Amino acid sequence: DVKKETMGFQTEAKQLLHLMIHSLYSNREIFLRELISNASDAIDKLRFAALSNEALLEGQGDYQVQVDVDKDARTITIADNGIGMNRDEVVEHLGTIAKSGTAAFMESLTGDQQKDSQLIGQFGVGFYSAFIVADRVEVHTRKAGEDADQGVVWESHGESEFSVEPRDKATRGTSIMLFLKDDCEEFADDFRVRSVIKKYSDHISVPVMMLKPAAPVAEDAEEQTEQPPEYEAVNEATALWTRSRTEISDDEYNEFYKHVSHDFDEPLTWSHNKVEGKFDYTSLLYIPKRAPFDMWNRDMARGLKLYVQRTFIMDDAEQFLPLYLRFVKGVVDSNDLPLNVSREILQQDAAVESMRSALTKRVLDMLSKLAKKGGDDYAGFWKEFGQVLKEGPAEDFANKEKIAGLLRFSSTHTDAPEQDQSLEDYVQRMQEDQEKIFYVVAENFNTAKNSPHLEVFRKKGIEVLLLCDRVDDWLMNHLQEFDGKAFQDVARGALDLAADTEEEKAEQEKLQKESEALVERMTKVLEGKVAEVRATARLTDSPACLVVGEFDMGAQMRRIMEAAGQ
C-alpha cells in the first residue's frame, strides 16, 4: 500500500530557505559542492559502518558519486552509494533544521542582503542549497543493508512543505534529482557541470563520475554494436591531506576547508603536516575567519575529522585538541590507532594524548606565526576568538606562557577599547625599575578606563592593562607572570610602586599621621561594611576608592557569583 504523506517544514527552515535562495543567487553553483560533499560524507559513513558489518555493502564495495545531466528534461542528478537514509532519517535530516541555535541565528539577520549572505554562509547551507537552482527536488534513498522495499522518496518545491512516500530502490544510497529553474539550465550542461565539479570537488576522496562524452559515430555504422554507457572520474579523487604540500594549491586547501568545516567562507590560515616517529599521523588544521554562531553553545560540534589509515572514523573527535581551541577545524589521519577505535578508547589512549599535545603546539605556533606576520589577520582572529583563547591559561598549564604571548589587551597606552596590545609590547614599554605588569578589571571598558585606581599610574606614566571581558578575572587568576614579571591588580591590597621615591614615602607617612582621626571615624561609621579604612596617596582626583584584599575574589568574579545566587 502506497502511503504518501505531506508535512510542513519547520518555521525556521522555511525562513532559511527563502533567505538562502535570495542571498546566494549570485553564487548558485555552490549547490553542487554541497550535494557532492553530502554524498561523500554518506560514503565515508558507510565505509566506517562496513568495517564491523560487511553485509552492509551488499557485495558492492566500489564507492562512487555519479552525476547525470539531461539537457532536454533540464535536470541534474547526484547519486551516491553511501549509507542512505530510512524514512525517519529523511524526515529528520531534510525536513527540519535540527541545529540548535537556529532561532537565535534568524534573529541576528539584518535584512541587508550582503551582510546576511555572509551570515548564512557561516550557518552552513548544506542540502537546502539545492533550491537555489531547482524549483523541485526529488530525493530517492534507501539505507544500506535494508531491503529494496524500504526505499523512500522525499519531494519538495522548497516552499513550505515536503512529502515522503515509499518506493522500491534496488541499490543502496541516495539519488537527488533537481528540476532546474528556467534560468539555471546551465547546470544541465555537461561541460559546465564538469568544470564546477573540478573547481569545488577535486579533493573529494571518492570518484565523482560523469558519462564519457559520446565518441563520434564511425563511418561504417554497421560495425557498431550497442555499447553500455561509460563513465569516467571528473575529479582527482585522492584525499587531499595525503598529497604532498607542494602539490596542493591554495584554492584546493580552501575548498577542502569548506568541505570539512561546512563553512562558506575561506579559512584564515592552515597548517598541513606529516609526522613520522613514535606515532605516525598526518594533520591538516585550519583557523576559520569567523566564529560559528554557536561557539558559546555547550553542545556546539567541535573537534577534528578522524581518519585511520585514510578510512573515515568519526566527525567531531574532541580528544585531539583542548576546549579553548574548539574553533579549529580539520582532519587528523592516524596510522597507529585501531580501525575500531571508539570515543571511549580515544579518551584514554596514550597515542591520542601525545598527538593532542603536538597538535595543540601546532595550533599555537600557527597563531604566533599569524601574529608575527603583521597586517589585519591576527587582529581579525583576536576579535573572533580572543575570548575563547583567554580560557587557555586555566585549561592548559603547560602552554601558559605561549598562550600569554598570544593574548591581546587594551591598555592605558592607547586608552582605546580595541584589544591590540601584546604583553611583549607592554614589557618593552615598562619603566626602568618597574617590576610588575599592572592591570585593572571592571565590568566595562569605560569603567576600567576611568577607574580611580589608575590615577597614580597615569600621574607616573605607568601603563595599566584595561580588562573588562567576562573571562578576564578567571584569566588573571591563572596567569601569574609573563616573561618573569608578576601581574598585579591595581585594585588589590597595598600598592607598592617601585617608582615611589623617598620623598613620596615620607609624604605618605605624613598623610597617614594627619588622617588618623578621620580614618578612625570612618572605620566606625563603616563597621561591618569594609574590612579596613586606609589613607592613601594613590588618588589624585577622587576622594576615595574601594580596594580588594590581596587574596580576595576579584570584583568581577564576585558579581558573577552574586548573579549565580552564591
Residues that bind ligand ADP (CB under 6 A): 34, 38-39, 42, 80, 82-85, 93-94, 124, 126-127, 174, 262
Nearer to Mg ion, 99 or 302 (CB): 99
For the CB of residue 38, give the shortest distance to Mg ion in the complex, in Å.
Answer: 4
Nearer to ligand ADP, 78 or 352 (CB): 78
CA dihedral 397, 399, 402, 406 (to 10 degrees): -70
Beta strand 208-211 with 65-70 is parallel
On whether 34 is known to bind a ligand per the annotation, the reply is yes
On whether 126 is known to bind a ligand per the annotation, the reply is yes
On whether 282 is known to bind a ligand per the annotation, the reply is no
Nearer to Mg ion, 119 or 495 (CB): 119
C-alpha grid cell for residue 431?
619603566
Nearer to ligand ADP, 92 or 230 (CB): 92
Report which of 541, 422, 421, 536 is spatially closest to residue 490, judged by C-alpha positions: 536
Q: What is the 3-state secondary structure (H, E, C) of 305-362?
A: EEEECCEEEEEEEHHHCCHHHCCCEEEEEECCCCCCCCHHHHHCCHHHHHHHHHHHHH
What is the edge-to-edge ordering of all strands in the sheet holding 208-211? 5-8, 161-166, 152-156, 134-142, 173-180, 75-80, 65-70, 208-211, 231-233
Nearer to ligand ADP, 23 or 488 (CB): 23
State the binding partner of 164 from Mg ion, ligand ADP, none, CB within 5 to 8 A by kind: none
For the CB of residue 83, give the shortest distance to ligand ADP in the complex, in Å.
Answer: 6
Q: Residue 478 belongs to what H/E stretch?
A: helix 472-478
Q: Is the dihedral of CA 323, 104, 470, 263 positive or negative?
A: positive
Return d(Cα 145, Cα 83) in angstroms, integer. 9
Eight-state DSSP code of residue 241: G
Residue showing cell 589613607:
535
Of 119-127, 287-295, 310-318, 525-533, the segment contacting Mg ion by CB under 5 A is 119-127
On whether 123 is known to bind a ligand per the annotation, the reply is yes
Distances from the Cα of 46 to the Cα of 35, 93, 545, 548, angstroms: 17, 17, 66, 60
Q: Does 121 help bind Mg ion (rule: CB under 5 A)? A: no
Report which of 537, 412, 391 is spatially closest to residue 466, judged by C-alpha positions: 412
Q: Which of 13, 36, 38, 555 binds Mg ion (CB under 5 A)?
A: 38
Q: Which residue number is nearest to Mg ion in terms of Cβ?
A: 126
Q: Which amino acid is at 348?
A: Q
Which of the residues 124 through 143 are near Mg ion (CB under 5 A)?
A: 126
For the CB of residue 82, give the shortest distance to ligand ADP in the complex, in Å.
Answer: 5
Nearer to ligand ADP, 38 or 360 (CB): 38
On whether 64 is known to bind a ligand per the annotation, the reply is no
For the CB of residue 117, give the shortest distance to ligand ADP in the complex, in Å.
Answer: 17
On whether 124 is known to bind a ligand per the annotation, the reply is yes
**HSE-up of 364 (CA within 13 Å, CB side)?**
24
On whether 380 is known to bind a ligand per the annotation, the reply is no
β-pair partners for 505: none
For the CB of residue 315, give the shortest distance to Mg ion in the complex, in Å.
Answer: 11
Of 34-42, 57-65, 91-99, 510-518, the segment contacting Mg ion by CB under 5 A is 34-42
On whether 38 is known to bind a ligand per the annotation, the reply is yes
State the binding partner of 268 from Mg ion, ligand ADP, none, CB within 5 to 8 A by kind: none
Nearer to ligand ADP, 80 or 463 (CB): 80
Nearer to ligand ADP, 94 or 153 (CB): 94
Question: Which residues are at the interface with Mg ion (CB under 5 A)?
Answer: 38, 126
Binding site per annotation, positions for ATP: 34, 38, 80, 85, 99-101, 122-127, 174, 343
Binding site per annotation, positions: 34, 38, 80, 85, 99-101, 122-127, 174, 343
